[in-house]
Amino acid sequence: MNQAMPEPASRAAGAGVTARALTRRFGNHLAIDRIDLQIAPGARFSLLGANGAGKTSFLRMLTGFLLPTSGELTLDGISPARHPHAVNKQIGFAMETARLDPDLRVSALLRFLGGARGLRGRALEHAVDRVIERFQLEPVAARRTGNLSKGLERRVSLAQAFLVESRWILLDEPSQGLDPAQRNQVRETLRGIEAERSLILCTHDLDEARALTDRAGVLHAGRLIAQGPTREVLDRPDVLSLFETRPAAKGAHS
């Protein structure tokens, strides 16, 4: 029997993201190892780690694309594993690798994706125009996505995450593939995220985390080995030890 969808706790007091003993295995590989984490509503949170640390696995579980092996994960009181469609109404998500239909023009792709998120008519057109302007895509709006540079593809992928006024924005390596000028433009845009939105940023770029977030956690081999205020976690003298094969003892906690 299907469970009734719970009322999002955020409508009352704000539940945020909660992980308890969250674990994900791929065969013998332990991608996420019993992590406990709380991300408050309105937070600007970065999840850092070397490649393969488990960042993308965590995001995919949060979106409902990937099921936990064990443990609990909720967003605003809703389990992505049990109610993925309800959770996806609350989020805008850009994956590390853009997957764009190469035959669609940029504006047409954004209209299609906005329609898939429930936008219609003037609301859809307004949303598309808004993200094209926000991510400075006007010069390529009529171009086929298959003819875009990697950097422009990344900006289109980021733009679609902002089509709907979601409570949470989830970004996986948002500036990867961008040149320095484009990276700065994207960071300025992300700094301007409205106060009512929450940001979860997965990155291995320490400068990006410092620039965009106020709290941070560090994953190593699937374990959460440090968390706290971003500056406290990342400005410690031995910060690089958190990303080495055998990290030092646990870092700043709160």
Q: Is the sign of the CA dihedral 30, 60, 53, 17 positive or negative? A: negative
The per-residue pLDDT string of the chain (254 residues; one tens digit each, 9 = 90 and over) reads 444 444 444 333 457 999 999 999 999 999 999 999 999 998 999 999 988 899 999 999 999 999 999 999 999 999 999 999 999 889 999 987 667 888 999 999 999 999 999 999 999 999 999 999 988 899 999 999 999 988 888 889 999 999 998 889 999 988 887 888 888 888 888 887 766 689 999 998 899 999 999 999 999 999 999 999 999 999 988 888 888 765 444 444 44
Task: Tell me the C-alpha distance between 108 and 26, whole Å.
Answer: 37
Q: Whole-prediction pTM value?
A: 0.85
Catalogue the E-assigned strands of 76-204: 91-94, 168-172, 198-203
Domain edges within the chain: 15-90+166-243, 100-155
Task: Tell me the C-alpha distance between 237 and 239, whole Å.
Answer: 6
CATH 3.40.50.12160: does it fit domain 15-90+166-243? no
